[in-house]
């Protein structure tokens, strides 16, 4: 006999880990499966495959507001971060203490800059670190935190880095489709990371936006693909899906940002009404309109996740890349939470597939858990 959760359509609120594949991406990938040929080949089959990549590059460039030549396709967001962090020589590196692990593990512990209790970079600490370290170096700062949704002062930080003779990289994988406008130029950075599966494309493909005048040494060497910046035959099917998802995000425009904000605010109000002692981490800062990091006053995240899952609601307790770890969130610890509080946080993240019914169902389930 199926349970009530099994009879009710499941609710997926873990878009910051991976968004469901958009139908536009599915269609583009299915069509590309019929294409034979290496995009680097000059015969007709190869040219047809190259056209798919060129079209996708145009779509991703339009999403970021940059020339297509600035788009370097990679094997995902972590791969793009690695290219950015290793491709500019051996100078010093700085990043915030709340970056994704794919950035933190490339930067020495001494280069991890503090954040305030709301999770925003301490700009004074950045200025002091820039002054103390020799130029040129690379400063990496995410646009939005994957666990709390807190937006970072990237434009201000990039201006300080540029004045000190440093490059700036921005991990922006959580931003497209959630924050409008999404504009590379407005941030004043030199490098920006994107990931297809965060916006409704397939996993295993991403992009690094490389501004004009920035010369990168490839970390994957071999052929001359991607203008010599990343070797290896391109993931044709994945890139096609990435391009289709990027085009869908551009088509949705600012209306999607407002839709997500409305859903998020209604969910947040419902969660806090059912459990008034809970707290929203990062609520003192500007956040993505799709993310809630909820701290429970007494229950551990593992127990809460299990109860939500049994009721058919999928959320997470932090970065999906850190699932299975016994250590508490490094993001919340950097924000000043003690270890116990950091273990009691849940992340609800909405996206293109989230509906009003999903929000209603989640609030109902949470009320039952709180009761």
What DSSP letter does each residue of 164-213 carry, written as one string? TT-EEEEE-TT-TTTSSS--HHHHT-SEEEEEGGGTTS-TT-EEEEE-TT
The whole-angstrom separation of Cα 17 and Cα 205 is: 15
Q: Where are the alpha helices (DSSP H) in the chain?
A: 4-7, 23-32, 44-64, 77-86, 101-104, 123-132, 154-163, 184-187, 236-252, 254-274, 301-310, 330-334, 339-342, 356-370
- Concerning whether 170 is annotated as a catalytic residue, the answer is no
**Domain residue extents for the chain:** 8-20+254-370, 23-252
pLDDT value of position 177: 94
Asked whether the beta carbons of 145 and 100 are under 8 A apart, the reply is no
Asked whether the beta carbons of 34 and 49 are under 8 A apart, the reply is no
pLDDT value of position 222: 81
Mean pLDDT of residues grouped by 10 in the chain (371 residues)?
63 98 98 92 91 97 97 96 93 96 91 97 98 95 98 98 97 96 94 98 98 90 83 93 98 97 98 95 97 95 95 85 66 96 96 98 96 86
> Model pTM?
0.94
Contacts of 210 (CB under 8 A, 6+ apart): 70, 72, 190, 191, 216, 229
Helix axis angle, 254-274 to 236-252, nearest 10°: 80
pLDDT value of position 325: 53
Asked whether the beta carbons of 103 and 140 are under 8 A apart, the reply is yes
In the numeric block, which tokens belong to residue 275? Answer: 């459990």
Query: The CATH number of 8-20+254-370 is which of 3.90.1150.10, 3.40.718.10, 3.40.50.2300, 3.30.43.10?
Result: 3.90.1150.10
pLDDT value of position 321: 58
The owner of tokens 């169902």 is 361
The residue from 95, 170, 293, 321 that is catalytic is 321
Q: What three-state secondary structure class fits 137? A: coil
Asked whether the beta carbons of 114 and 97 are under 8 A apart, the reply is yes
End-to-end C-alpha distance for the chain, whole angstroms = 26
The whole-angstrom separation of Cα 125 and Cα 115 is: 9
pLDDT value of position 8: 79
pLDDT value of position 4: 55
The whole-angstrom separation of Cα 200 and Cα 196 is: 7
Which residues, listed in sequence order, are joined to residue 71 by a DSSP beta bridge? Answer: 209
Architecture label for domain 23-252? 3-Layer(aba) Sandwich (3.40)
What phi and psi values does residue 69 have, to the nearest 5 degrees?
-65, -15
- Dihedral angle, C-alpha 98, 103, 106, 108, nearest 10 °: -20
What are the C-alpha distances in Å from 327 to residues 83, 181, 304, 322, 343?
Answer: 28, 35, 17, 9, 8
């Amino acid at each position: 006999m199926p349970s009530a959760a099994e009879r009710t359509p499941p609710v997926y609120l873990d878009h910051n880990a991976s968004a469901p594949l958009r139908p536009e991406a599915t269609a583009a990938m299915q069509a590309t499966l019929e294409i034979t040929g290496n995009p680097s080949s000059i015969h007709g089959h190869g040219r047809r495959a190259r056209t798919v990549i060129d079209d996708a590059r145009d779509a991703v460039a339009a999403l970021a507001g940059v020339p297509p030549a600035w788009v370097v396709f990679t094997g995902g967001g972590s791969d793009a971060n690695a290219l950015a962090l290793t491709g500019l020589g051996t100078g010093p590196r700085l990043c915030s203490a709340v970056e994704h692990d794919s950035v933190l593990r490339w930067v020495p512990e001494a280069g991890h800059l503090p954040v305030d209790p709301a999770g925003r970079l301490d700009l004074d600490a950045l200025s002091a670190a820039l002054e103390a370290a020799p130029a040129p170096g690379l400063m990496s700062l995410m646009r939005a935190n994957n666990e709390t949704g807190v937006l970072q002062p990237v434009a201000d930080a990039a201006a300080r880095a540029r004045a000190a003779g440093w490059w700036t990289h921005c991990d922006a994988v959580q931003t497209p489709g959630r924050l409008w406008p999404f504009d590379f130029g407005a941030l004043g950075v030199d490098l920006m990371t994107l990931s297809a599966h965060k916006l409704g494309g397939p996993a295993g493909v991403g992009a690094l936006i490389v501004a004009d005048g920035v010369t990168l040494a490839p970390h994957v060497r071999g052929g001359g693909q991607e203008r010599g910046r990343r070797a290896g035959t391109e993931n044709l099917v994945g890139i096609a899906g990435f391009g289709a998802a990027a085009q869908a995000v551009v088509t949705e425009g600012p209306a999607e940002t407002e839709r997500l904000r409305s859903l998020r605010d209604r969910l947040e109000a419902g969660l806090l009404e059912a459990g008034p002692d809970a707290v929203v981490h990062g609520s003192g800062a500007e956040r993505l309109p799709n993310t809630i990091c909820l701290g429970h006053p007494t229950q551990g995240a593992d127990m809460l996740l299990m109860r939500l899952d049994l009721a058919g609601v999928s959320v997470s307790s932090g970065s999906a890349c850190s699932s299975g770890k016994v250590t508490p969130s490094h993001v919340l610890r950097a924000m000043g939470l003690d270890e116990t509080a950091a273990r009691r946080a849940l992340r609800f993240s909405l996206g293109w597939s989230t509906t009003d019914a999903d929000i209603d169902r989640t609030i109902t389930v949470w009320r039952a858990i709180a009761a």
